Amino acid sequence: MAKISATLKYLNGLDPGQDNDLVIMIDAYDIWFQLPKSVLMERYHTINEQANKRIIKQIGRDATQRENVTQSIIFGSGKRCAPNQLHTIACYPIPASPLPDDLYYGNTDTDIGPNEFASRRQRWLNSGVIVGPVAKLRELFAYAEEIAKSHPINDPEDNGSHGSDNMYHGSDQSIFATIRGQQEYQREVLHRRYNPHFTSGDRSSEDPDNAPATSSSDKAAPQRLSRRGGGNIDVLHYDRLNPPFTHEEWEAREGHSYEYGIGVDHFSDLTHETINSETDGRWLLHNQSLPEQITDRTRFDCKWRLPDRLPNDILSEASTEVMRKVARKMASWEDQTLYTHLCTGTVPVIVHHNGDKDARTKMWHLPWWKSYVKDMMEAEFEKTNGSKEFDWGKHRKAPATGEGANWGGAWDDKGEFLRFEELCPAADQEELFRMTPL
């Protein structure tokens, strides 16, 4: 669980004056950025603004305001509650996805498609990308570490498969999914507390997950769950505090609010998790005929949508002279190859290759920056040739703007700085800068 404990150590080491600064935490080996920081920042605030409107509809304005329920931390979003098991607190209290309920036509949220998860709407937490303010993340990671340290090796809620034993095989995601489930359970408790006339069969929320528990369709829910065979609870309508299927009993701890401001990026504005979604995205040139580029679609794929607009002009995002030179060559985003989520009609800031890992090799020539990265790196290295020995202390004080900010390289386990040329010998650079498909 070093991903939790080491991050908490970092957060605890930050100055209190940085409590409102945003931190982005990403997986190491399968993350590609394609849009600049300014777009990430803008979308972070927009996602939270829209989510907070949904929260008011979900639990009511009184509960939201009096209990300070608001979203400030965004995780990536996937189609599967994993690695947690479906009957646990991590999964069953989660509200339905706000994505259109016909995203995959009549197959939406069923097991029909290339695999049993492909036609699901994004709903579940994925910890490959996390964005949030320092203070809120510090609270979240402190609680995550508490859970990790107290969690039994043999989970009492395991269904006999041992899938949730041994700390879910070292998955930090399992801990964060559990915390989100506790949060959503508690939000529903607050909804009922502040709406005394509420019964499980009378929901005013627009959330389809809150369909009347006494409806005829709900009476068939346990049987329908059994028939599906794929462990799909997405299509079920049930009381989220007491579902009809076998589930983990949970009761909030006295004096604990369980409100961490956690939400997920349902629409893939920040990041697209490619697992179970490999056919949902496509690399496109937006200045050419898009229908001609969107080929080989099948009847199982989603309804495709395209972005209403692309991000702002490139030149305004350039922060260094090297980037300004590149921006002048690029002209506009319409001229660049951009990974586009066809189902939600967005160009994500990040592509998370957590599905087909071979895609990192097969698609390596496609990102727009591949056309410019070699020139950019060489221009940056020219500025550091002949510079004095790198000063780690100065870099740590101001890693983005201080002396040595543009040095390419890394530190080895002895604390010595290795230049880029030492890390990536000339023999390996042919693949690094490759511009053609294999």
Identify the CA nearest to 34 among candidates 340, 424, 286, 318.
Answer: 340
DSSP for 26-69? E-SSSEEE-S-HHHHHHHHHHHHHHHHHHHHHHH-HHHHHHTT-
Q: How far is CA 317 from CA 34, 323, 333, in A?
A: 13, 9, 12
Residue 240 covered by a domain:
yes
Same domain, 24 and 168: yes
Q: Which two tokens stand for residue 55?
A: 């929260």
In a domain, 171, yes or no: yes
Q: Do 247 and 102 reside in the same domain of the chain?
A: yes
Domain boundary among 206, 235, 264: 264
Token pair 């259109």 is found at 100
- Which of 216, 241, 264 is where one domain is finished? 264
Query: 223 and 86 in one domain?
Result: yes
Q: How far, in Å, CA of 195 to CA of 59, rounded?
A: 9
Q: Which residues contact 237 (CB under 8 A, 6 or more apart)?
A: 208, 209, 210, 211, 212, 213, 215, 217, 218, 221
Q: Angle between the 2-12 and 134-150 helix axes, to the nearest 10 degrees?
A: 140
Angle at 383 between CA 378 and CA 388, to 5 degrees: 125
Q: Do residues 386 and 257 both lie within one domain? A: no
pTM score: 0.88
Rounded CA separation 87/95 (Å): 15
Give the up-direction half-sphere exposure of residue 187: CA atoms within 13 A in the CB hemisphere: 30
Q: What is the pLDDT of residue 83?
A: 94
The sheet with strand 350-352 has its strands ordered as 31-33, 350-352, 271-273
Question: Which single residue is written with the structure tokens 């000063």?
Answer: 391
Is the CB of residue 346 less than 8 Å from the CB of residue 268? yes
The total number of structural domains in the chain stands at: 2
Question: Does 203 map to a domain?
Answer: yes
The structure tokens listed for 59 are 């639990």
Look at residues 204, 230, 264 and tell me which one is the last residue of a structural domain. 264
> CA-CA distance, 349 to 271, in Å (whole number)?
6
CA dist 90 and 163 (Å) reads 14
**Whole-number pLDDT of residue 407:** 58
Angle in degrees, 0-180, between the axes of helices 2-12 and 172-193, rounded to the nearest 10 = 70
Is residue 251 domain-shared with residue 392, that is, in the same domain? no
CA distance 21 to 427: 40
Please indicate, yes or no, if residue 351 is contained in any of the structural domains: no
Return the pLDDT at 55.
97
Q: Range of 124's domain?
A: 2-264
Per-residue pLDDT of the chain (438 residues; tens, 9 = 90+): 889 999 999 999 999 999 999 999 999 999 999 998 889 999 999 999 999 999 999 999 999 999 999 999 999 999 999 999 999 999 999 999 999 999 999 999 999 999 999 999 999 999 999 999 999 999 999 999 999 999 999 999 999 999 999 988 889 999 999 999 999 999 999 999 998 877 654 443 334 333 333 333 333 333 333 333 345 787 778 899 999 999 999 988 888 999 999 999 999 999 999 999 999 999 999 999 988 999 889 999 999 898 988 887 666 666 667 677 777 777 788 889 999 999 999 999 999 999 999 999 999 999 999 988 888 777 767 765 555 555 655 655 555 555 555 556 677 788 776 777 788 888 899 999 999 998
Q: What is the pLDDT of residue 92?
A: 96
